[in-house]
Structure formats: C-alpha cells, structure tokens
A and B are shown apart, each in its own frame.
Chain A
Amino acid sequence: MQSEGLPAFARLAADGADAADIAKEAAATWRDMHGILAAIIGETGVAAVFRRSLYLAQADFAWLAPVYKTSAPADLFASLQSELAKQSSLQALAGNGELLHHFITILNTLIGESLVQRLLGSAPDQPSGPDAAQERK
C-alpha cells in the first residue's frame, strides 16, 4: 500500500516540529488505525500484528525495544509515544515509519492488500523522503 501524500505527522517534521509533537501525532494515527482494525480483527489481533511489527522494526531501531516489552496491549501506543518523544524528530519519524511499514506489510500478507486498503483507506505507510533511511542507527 502506498501513502498518498505526506501523513500529518510527517508534515509536522517538515515544518520543524519536535519529536514530542511527532510522537503525539504518531500515537493518534496508531489509535485511529487500531479503532478501525480492532472492531474487525479484535484487540488481540491488532496487538499481535503490532508486536510483530515492533519486533521487526527494533532490528534497525533498537530504542523501540521498551515498547516491545510493554505487556499490557492498552499501553502499547502510550509507550510508543513516550519512546518516540525521546528521539530526534527525524529519528522518531524514521522509526515510526519503519514500524508502520512492517505493520502494513504483515496485514497485506495476511489478509491481502485490497482488503487492507479497503479497511484503512490511504493510511500512512512508508516514511517519506530520503532522510528517514539515513537516520537509522
């Protein structure tokens, strides 16, 4: 699934917003997606895919590890917001983009791209711009 234009939190980065703003926007986006998906595949289903995405993303973004270790599903997004806010804005954007990329890829693999597109519409997917990749640790 390709994103259509810059998602709101990426625009924040382009406008010079700090990591806290990006983290807040990212968490809001995740909660929106969660709201859509949990109604269909359940809290457990969304949490399972999100954790798998975290596991994959932390290979390049080790600072995501504490989020992965968060036990309560309800606390996952708050934990993510907290960790994102500790990073530089570009690092936060890249880490969140990687997470999103894995999340959408897993969903695409499991239930097909057309259905994911159908459910999430043009939800954010890839981190935009070359900076995101450069910032990976």
Chain B
Amino acid sequence: MTKATINRLATGVPGLDEVLGGGLPEFSFNLIAGAPGCGKTTLAHQIMFALATSERPALYFTVLGEPPLKMLRYQQQFDFFDSRKITQSIHFVNLADDASSGDLAKVLARIIAEVQKHAPALVFVDSFRSVVLAGKAEGSSYLGLQQFIQQLGVTMTSWQATTFLLGEYSDARDPNPNPVFTVADGLIWLRQSVERNSVVRQMEVTKMRGLPTLPGLHTFRIDAAGIEVFAPPALEARPVTQFPPSSRVAMGVPGLDAMMGGGLPRGYSLLIAGPSGSGKSIMAAAFLAEGARQGETGVIAAFEQRANKSRGQIIADLIDNGRIGVVDTRTSTLSVDEISRVLIAEIVRLKASRVVIDSLSGFELVLAPAFRADFRESLARMVAALARTGATVLMTSELEDRYSELRFSPYGTAFLTDAIVVQRYVEIDSRLERVMAVVKVRASAHSNELRLFSITDTGIQLGEMLQDREGLLGGRPSRHGREGEHGTASSPK
C-alpha cells in the first residue's frame, strides 16, 4: 500500500515556492486574500501563465469584481502575460450574470459545467467575495454558503483541479472566520502598508495543508516582470567557495593583517566602525581589491549616496570587468530580506568570496520605515545567511565619536560580527589624527594596539602606536613620561 503522493507545482513566482515550503500542492483548494490593490489578481495571473499548458489548461472565472476588460488590459502589461496561451491553454469565463442573480446553486452549476467542458487542471475564481456577497444579497443562509464552498472544494479536488479563490477579506484573525477559511487547504494573505512615503507589500501564508511553510510576513515587490517574494535568506547547504580550513584573508592594508593575528579568518564577518570620513569605505575598497589581486571575486552593496566616487578607480575597473558585482540599492522600500536575497544570488552567481556592505547606516536609511524596528533581528539573520555562503563579509558602520564612552558599534551589532575594527579621531598637537584598533577577532589572538593611520593616494597607511600619549579614546590625549605597554590580546570564543 502506498501513500498518496502530493505533487508540488512550481508557481513561477520567484520566492513563493520557498515561502510555501516547496511549491503549491497539486489539487489543493486555495484562497488568495487581501484588500483591493494588494496584488491578488496579479499573483493569480502570474501563477496561471506559469503553470498553464495544453495538457494542464487553466480556467479563470471572473465574477463581479474588476471588469474583465480592465483586468485583461492591465495584466497584459506584465512580462508573464502571453496572449498566445489564451483560448489555447487559458480560458476566461465571465460569471457576472450568473452571480448577479444571487443564486449560488446557479453559480455552482455554471462553474461545474465550464469545468466539465474545459477539464482544467487549474481553476481561478476572481473575485470569490463577489460570489459570497451575491449569495448574501438574496438572503442565502450561512449554511447555504458553507455548502456551496464545500461542494465547490470537493468538486474541484475530484476533478483534479488546483483551485484558487481570490477574495477581499479584511483579516485572517477575524473571530468569526468566513467558512471558506475552514475549507481551504491554503490561505495566502497579501497586505500592503503605507508609512510615510513608502509602500510595503507583504505576503503571509497562514495555512497550507501538508507543507512546512515559512511563517511570518514576507515582503514582495511588483514590477514589470510581476511579483517577486523575498523570503528570508535561505541558508546555503554548502559554502559557495571552498578554501583550506583555518585560512585567513588578507585585508589589503599593510600592517593590518598582523594586527588581526595574521589576517581575518576566512568566512568571518568584520565590522569596521568609525566616524564620518575616517576611512571605512577606503578600507572596504582595499579589502575587495586585495581579493581581486588574489583571483577572488567580490560583491558590494553600497548604500552611500556617492558610491561610485568613493569606491575609487580600481574598484570601478573591477566592477566593469565583472570581478566585483554590485547590488542595486537605489530603492527606498527595501527590506533586509530583499537585500539578503539579492546579495546571496550575486554571491552564488560570481562565486564570490568577499562581500562588502557599505554602510549599515546607509542601509538602515534606505529601508522602508516599517522594517527599521526589526533591523537588528533582520541583520542577524542576514549575517548568518551570508556566513553560510562561506564568504568573508566586511560591513562598515558610522559610529559617532563619543569621547565620554567607549562604544564599538551602533545598533548593538557588535555581537553579530566575528571581528571589529574601530576607527576614531584624536587631537594631537592641534591636528586631527586618525587612530584604529582591532577590538575583536573571535577565537584568535590579535593586537591591542591603538595605531595612528593616514589616508594617502595609495590607500590607508598604518602608523605607529602613540606610546607617549594617554587618554587617546577621550579624544584629547596627553603626553606622559613612560612608554605604553603593548602586546597581544585574544578575544574569547
């Protein structure tokens, strides 16, 4: 005796199969719900055009909602809309007249008649809410509606059709849920929220029988290609790049590797924190350029407004040559999951072993306001996902100099990264000098020196320790008579 096999259909919507837990169960009875304008019809069309073939035809019922003329007019603007499939593998059927009578039995009979006529593998009813309202208008009892839905569900499943009902329902957490929620095998909620000038679209799969769906709200975007869902970054099963264990990454700044105990351990994430203009982006560029010099590829997500200029010619050339991939970060409604997904895709594409995020401060600014509250959590998820790719990650972060306290990172991000380098300004002999220190390299010995450094045309030049000064971190060091102690420190695991 073998168990029933539930095939999973690839929806053709990037990211949706991951959220669904591996695709859409064949013959399932699903509800796509959400307020007007949140993308229900677009999602349905995208799935339909991806799945419909001559052998697996689709039937799209339109009811009293959006006039079909308009629906066809706007849907054909999307890349997935292929008019050659219409009348061949996709059939549209208008139920407005049947629904306007309010007789649910008549609507059901018409649906079943069309299903028998076309033998579809995919059935869409848009919008199902119109059917329900039409039924209520004629005083149909709750039971009548319940029976209608159950009969529809059973009929579609017996006809081996994967079915989608589209509807405008207010909330999944309604204390008196619509009976359709009970009957449906899958519930996909689409939402959009507006905060200040940003619109964030989010999807939630609150139910999908038999599948381990990804819980929570997942952002999605609608552009000319259709819908793309940004599921939390998937953890790569194996590193994208392979290097000998315990190998270290050269930073491209002479002397810095020695301060880190022989370079940054490969696969680590490093936070470079410092005030504006201290040289964080230059260090990030040196890190990528050094990688390229050693034959490695890299990816950069730059959130600075003048990213092109601050990167320098070497990096610009490497980008032009395809040795460094650039992640587009111009939009202002990004979520961390979206950028993670794009970053990881680029890492996989280029087999990149070095990644730069410059800077976390800029990153936070381009996030939609709705996502800023969860920035730390999302960042932790992203760092974990990036770590699984095997890439060594360098993130910069703006850290305002505060001389009354010793801080290493904003947002409490210090614990997220494996290593931290801090840069600061200090006043020495009426000059503003820069100093840097390696604060942490997890499970590795590293220098505890506070070193002067300067920025020249060739990059960052590390200087000496200021052995005759004290109070450097207070910003205004004073000279003292004895030599400062220096040596090495080790960060605990």
Contact = CB atoms under 8 A, between A and B. Distances in A.
B86 A115 contact: yes
Contact of A111 (B62, B72, B87): B72
Contacts of A44: 67, 96
Interface string B89-118: 000111011000000000000000000000
Contact of A45 (B76, B83, B84, B94): B94
A40 B97 contact: no
A119 B67 contact: no
Interface in A103-125: 110-112, 114-115, 118-119
A40 B83 contact: no
Interface in A62-108: none
Contacts of A118: 83-84, 86-87
A36 to B, nearest CB: 9
B255 to A, nearest CB: 65
A132 interface: no
A118 B72 CA distance: 13
Interface string B325-355: 0000000000000000000000000000000
A38 interface: yes
Of A48, A114, A115, A119, the most chain B CB neighbours within 10 A belong to A115
Of A42, A43, A44, the most chain B CB neighbours within 10 A belong to A42
B359 to A, nearest CB: 46
B69 interface: yes
B93 A40 contact: yes
A17 interface: no
B34 to A, nearest CB: 23
Of A40, A44, A115, the most chain B CB neighbours within 10 A belong to A40
Interface residues of B, number: 16
Contact of B83 (A42, A48, A110, A115): A115
B68 interface: yes
Nearest to A112: B76
A111 B92 CA distance: 14
Given A111-B76, A112-B76, A115-B76, A41 B86 contact: no
Of A43, A49, A111, the most chain B CB neighbours within 10 A belong to A111
B83 A38 contact: no
A111 B67 contact: no
Given A115-B83, A115-B86, A118-B86, A42 B73 contact: no
Nearest to A119: B87
Of B69, B76, B83, the most chain A CB neighbours within 10 A belong to B69
A41 B83 contact: no
Nearest to B100: A44
B82 to A, nearest CB: 10
Contact of A41 (B76, B84, B87, B94): B94
B87 A42 contact: no
Nearest to A113: B83
Contacts of B87: 118-119
B84 A39 contact: no
B76 A42 contact: no
Contacts of A110: 69, 72-73
A22 to B, nearest CB: 29
B92 A40 contact: yes
A39 B86 CA distance: 13
A112 B77 CA distance: 10
B93 A43 contact: no
A45 B67 CA distance: 7
Given A41-B67, A42-B62, A115 B93 contact: no
B97 A45 contact: no
A38 B94 contact: yes
A129 B67 CA distance: 37
A43 B92 contact: no
B275 to A, nearest CB: 56
A37 B97 CA distance: 14
Contact of B96 (A43, A111, A114, A119): A43
Nearest to A106: B69
A119 B69 contact: no
A136 to B, nearest CB: 29
B204 to A, nearest CB: 32
Contacts of A119: 86-87
Contacts of A43: 94, 96-97
B197 to A, nearest CB: 32
A42 B72 contact: no
Contact of B94 (A40, A49, A111, A114): A40
A48 B69 CA distance: 10
Interface string A21-59: 000000000000000001111111100110000000000
Nearest to B92: A40
* CB-based closest 9 A-B pairs: A42-B94, A40-B92, A41-B68, A42-B96, A115-B83, A111-B72, A114-B83, A45-B69, A41-B69
28 contacts: A39-B92, A39-B94, A40-B93, A40-B94, A41-B67, A41-B68, A41-B69, A41-B72, A41-B92, A42-B67, A42-B68, A42-B96, A43-B94, A44-B67, A44-B96, A45-B67, A45-B69, A45-B94, A49-B69, A111-B69, A111-B73, A111-B76, A112-B83, A114-B83, A115-B76, A115-B83, A115-B86, A119-B86
Given A41-B92, A112-B76, 18 more contacts: A38-B94, A39-B92, A40-B68, A40-B72, A40-B92, A41-B67, A41-B68, A42-B62, A42-B68, A42-B97, A44-B96, A45-B69, A111-B69, A111-B76, A112-B83, A115-B83, A118-B84, A119-B86
Interface of B: 62, 67-69, 72-73, 76, 83-84, 86-87, 92-94, 96-97
Interface of A: 38-45, 48-49, 110-112, 114-115, 118-119
